[in-house]
Amino acid sequence: MARRSEQVAILGAGNMGRALARGLRAAPTTRRFRVVLTVRDPRRLAPVASEIGARIAGSNRAAVEGCETVVVAVKPQILPSVLAEIGDALENGTTLLSIAAGVSTARLEAGVGEGVGVVRAMPNVAASVRSSATAYCLGRTARRRDRERARTILGSIGTVVEVDESLMDAVTGLSGTGPLYLFLILESLSDAGVKVGLSREIATHLAIQTLVGSAELVRATGEHPAKLRDLVTSPGGTAITALHSLERSGLKAMLMDAVEAAARRSEELGRSRSPSSATSSEGAAKP
């Protein structure tokens, strides 16, 4: 007998919501999903929805009707009003998957019925090319079925790992904010290539492929990066000379400081988004 398709509502079809919808369409399991989208102003969504093969609902409440999974992809400060709109419309057994930065599972659970399984995730901007490094955590009410649904949906935009909720700020500092570090590194390497005489085009191409290739090598070998670094460091060569320069500049400490600072900021923002701090003016959608 043919398997019944699952209905997924994506509330807030902005950058991340659309990436998820596209991921569901492109993933091998796509045929199992019927996707319903909402935004604030649906008129501009029609071309995207038709490209993705998704339906547009007139309201969040209408969108969640009959859905097995409801993905909340609005900005964190919009989330309370969306939860108020849909909270009592979610049926028992529904999975609520939120990607809103800094909004705890406890806060999400407070807005829905006991029978709704809550999952909180932190993807990154590479979701738009289905290469996100996403971590998620389960809420108190989540069951195996909720985990499976979340993993399938998040897996359609990249890789997925499960962590304890206490580590979500650390995740935000490392992989949520991570594209920024690597964009800056790529920009710097591209500039450096131009400085030593390469064209911008060739410098950027070489920088990108070196970054991707090095990451692939670490992944493929499973080796500690320091071991691979040692393998390319020959006596008196270019690598040890460059390493000396990088150590003098403190690159490693700079990156560690940046991740730690971003994790700390994520924690602060999470506190400001808790119900006891309802006057938060923080409006950033980005992690």
Binding site for ligand NAP (CB under 6 A): 11-17, 38-41, 60, 73-76, 78, 81-82, 99-101, 122-125, 176, 285-287
- Smaller CB separation from ligand NAP, 76 or 193: 76
Write down the least CB distance from residue 124 to ligand NAP, Å.
5
Count of beta carbons in the 10 Å neighbourhood of residue 205 = 14
Helix or strand run (H / E) with residue 195: helix 178-195
Work out how close the CB of 60 gets to ligand NAP at its nearest, in angstroms, rounded to a whole number.
Answer: 5
Instruction: Output phi, psi for 11, to 5 deg.
Output: -90, 110
Distance in angstroms (rounded) separating the CA atoms of residues 193 and 191? 5
Q: DSSP letter at 176?
A: I
- CB nearer to ligand NAP: pick between 218 and 285: 285
What minimum distance in Å lies between the beta carbon of 220 and ligand NAP? 27
Judge whether 98 and 121 are in contact, CB under 8 Å: yes
Can you read off the two tokens belonging to residue 182? 């690597």
CB 134, min distance to ligand NAP, A: 9
Q: Which is nearer to ligand NAP, 78 or 189 (CB)?
A: 78
- State the minimum distance, in angstroms, from the CB of residue 128 to ligand NAP: 9
Query: Which of 203, 269 has the CB closer to ligand NAP?
Result: 269
Residue nearest to ligand NAP (CB): 14
Closer residue to ligand NAP (CB): 39 or 64:
39
**What CA–CA distance (Å, rounded) separates 245 from 192?**
14
Query: Would you say 128 or 214 has its CB closer to ligand NAP?
Result: 128
C-alpha distances (whole Å) from 281 to each of 68, 78, 171, 222, 273 are 33, 12, 23, 43, 9
Shortest distance (Å) from residue 238 CB to ligand NAP? 36
CB 146 within 8 Å of CB 119: yes
Hey, is 95 helix, strand or coil? strand
Q: Report, in Å, the least distance between residue 30 CB and ligand NAP.
A: 21
Crossing angle of the two packed helices 251-272 and 238-249, in degrees rounded to 10: 50
Asked whether 63 and 94 are in contact (CB, 8 A), the reply is no
Nearest to 103 by CA among 265, 274, 281: 274
What's the min distance (Å) between Cβ of 103 and ligand NAP?
Answer: 8
Residue placing its CB nearer to ligand NAP in the complex, 41 or 164? 41
Q: Residue 73: what residue type?
A: A
Nearer to ligand NAP, 74 or 207 (CB): 74
How do 69-72 and 55-56 pair as beta strands? Answer: unpaired
